[in-house]
Amino acid sequence: MYKMKKNFLLIILLFAFIYSVYGNTMKPEIIWTLNPEQNDLEQSNIENHILFYKWATNSPIIELNTETLQTKNVNYLGTTLSSKHFSSMSIYNPFTSNNFTWISSRKLFGNLRSSGTYKTNYDQKENAIDFEFYSSEELFFEKSFKLTNTLLFQTNILITQSDSFRHTYYFSVKNTNDDISKTLSIIKTNDNLGWFWISDECYTKFSSYCFFQDGMNNTIYNYLTEEEIIFSNQTIIGYGRNRIVTSNVDLSTGSLKRIYVYDTNGTVLYKDSTFALTEILLDLLNDHLSQIVIFQGYFQNNCIILNLRKTTSGPSTPFCTVILDLDSNQVYISPMGYEILGVF
């Protein structure tokens, strides 16, 4: 009798373990098939692992394999990690492959002891996540890292209450061999600015931490040559290492149509004129009163990853993440309400 009870208990524990790893997961939904008239990208044989959290819920953190489209719950210190600990924007830097997220003092968990921006690490083999304290400031981009072995990108942010502007950003690059710095830009603003490196020479910048909402950003800059490349009648919606993703925007409606991928010389590598992002998503929702906001956009291993929010007026709310696989031509979306926690 004791042995039967013990075996029964082991079976229950086994099912509980399986559920903790694979339960509550949802497969992404394929919503579109791309039909590019130009694709000069080399086939990528590298899969992406994208971590998602569902804002303001107890839903588990989910990992998506973009090759298999399989999802599973993510572990932290041996147990499934809940979305409730995350409520702010997480950022990914394709240039350094680093991920960061803000964790507030009231949402601390596990062995985390201080509020701040944490570097997010993910072990794919163990399906385990951990966090490394990085800064007491909330970051909207990685503000200091090496562009080359001898070239360091640096950002200093001065916050004032008396000036007309709350933030003064000082952007520079420093040669670590001779310790000489070159100022790239000094910007005074009341907004949170975004500065993103595409290569060790080229960058783009946004006047807010949203990649696309009201205004357009269609320019990349080369700090060495001081040249600019302007993508006429387009707006930048994502970036990756040596890659820029753009779309045409209807300024009267804010709708996005067509998708382009460029290199840092302004050469078109990919073009699909049939893909109408805004129309497809609002049709899917049967909601034509909302505006699509691109919170973040990344290009990684021939996948375009767009973290989306929506708004009718005022602050935007989490919507979903859209992934365009340029190798398979499939477009799919995450479960509704899920946002990116990290890209690996």
Per the domain annotation, does 172 fall within a domain? no
Tell me the three state secondary structure of residue 231: coil
Query: Would residue 225 count as lying in a domain?
Result: yes
pTM: 0.89
Amino acid sitting at position 214:
D
Mark residue 77 as left, alpha or beta (left: phi above 0; alpha: psi -120 to 50; beta: remaining): left
Question: Given strand 180-189, what is the order of strands in its sheet?
Answer: 144-146, 151-159, 167-175, 180-189
The answer to whether 91 and 99 are in contact (CB under 8 A) is yes
230 is a domain residue = yes
Which of these, 283, 278, 284, 287, lies nearest to 306 by C-alpha position? 278
Are the C-beta atoms of residues 118 and 100 closer than 8 Å to each other?
Answer: yes
Q: Is 163 inside any structural domain?
A: no
- CB within 8 Å of 310: residues ≥ 6 apart: 287, 290, 291, 292, 293, 316, 317, 319
Q: Domain of 47?
A: 2-140+192-343
Query: What DSSP character marks residue 313?
Result: S
Asked, for residue 174, whether it belongs to a domain, the answer is: no
Cα–Cα distance, 319 to 335 (Å, whole number): 9
User: Is 48 contained in some domain?
Assistant: yes
| CA nearest to 62, candidates 332, 53, 182, 272 | 53
Tally of domains within the chain: 1
Task: For Cα atoms 70, 72, 77, give the angle at the middle one, nearest 5 degrees.
Answer: 150
The gap between the terminal CA atoms of the chain, to the nearest Å, is: 49
52 falls within a domain: yes
* Whole-number Å distance between alpha carbons of 200 and 219: 16
C-alpha 190/C-alpha 313 separation (Å) is 20
Which tokens hold the place of 40?
């000069």
Neighbours of 233 (CB within 10 A): 12
Asked, for residue 155, whether it belongs to a domain, the answer is: no
* pLDDT values of the chain reduced to their tens digit, one per residue, 344 residues: 555 545 545 544 444 444 444 444 567 999 999 999 999 999 998 999 999 999 889 999 999 999 999 999 999 999 999 999 998 779 999 999 999 999 999 999 999 999 999 999 999 999 999 999 999 988 889 999 999 999 999 999 888 776 678 889 999 999 999 999 999 999 888 877 889 999 999 999 987 768 887 678 999 999 999 999 999 999 999 999 999 999 999 888 888 999 999 999 999 999 999 999 989 988 877 777 778 889 899 999 999 999 998 887 777 788 899 999 999 999 999 988 899 999 99
